[in-house]
Amino acid sequence: MTLRTLILLRHAKAETPGELLDFDRSLTERGMSDADAAGAWLVDERLHPDLVICSPAKRTRQTWQAASLALAQGDQAHGAPEVHYRDQLYYGGRTEVFDLLRAVPDTVRTILVVGHNPTVSEVSALLVPDAQWDGATVELKTSGLAVHTSEAPWSSVEPGSMSLSHRHVARG
């Protein structure tokens, strides 16, 4: 069987809403540094995505861009992953994330989803199998990553179907 890896990344620290539309909020200076640190952590853990599914909001795009620069600098052996910006990651919830994952071809081994809370934390908690669940709900902080693995095809991703192998909060 082929091991499949799902990396969930909550966007880095963004500006306070203020006058801007939520969709247009940018990362803060700290957020840019933390997003870079998330990419460096992925390199250190040898987690290179084949596919990135990212919310189209400005702060998630900036998080992916900063992380991807760190990935490219630290791991030049891999090419750039395919990137899809999906409205469902901004306007939808956990059901839409599961739908997006189930539609991924099984030739893809590693997916990075860059999204928002509470959705990314909920998806991570839901994926954990009952045997691994310790009853604690862990909310991903900004620049927080959760790595889940399974040998099952993407089409069968459902609650309880992917073991949690890592949790990390990237700080630059």
- Is residue 81 a contact partner of residue 48, using CB atoms and an 8 Å limit? yes
- Measure the N-to-C terminal CA separation of the chain; round to a whole number of Å: 36
Position 77 confidence tier, pLDDT thresholds 50, 70, 90: low
Residue 79, C-beta contacts closer than 8 angstroms, at least 6 positions apart? none
Q: Report the pLDDT averaged over residues 116-137.
A: 86
pTM as predicted: 0.95
pLDDT, tens digit, for every residue of 20-74? 899 999 999 999 999 999 999 999 999 999 999 999 999 999 999 999 999 888 7
- How far is CA 10 from each of CA 35, 65, 124, 139, rounded to the nearest angstrom? 10, 14, 11, 10
Given a contact cutoff of 8 angstroms between Cβ atoms, the answer to whether 38 and 170 are in contact is yes
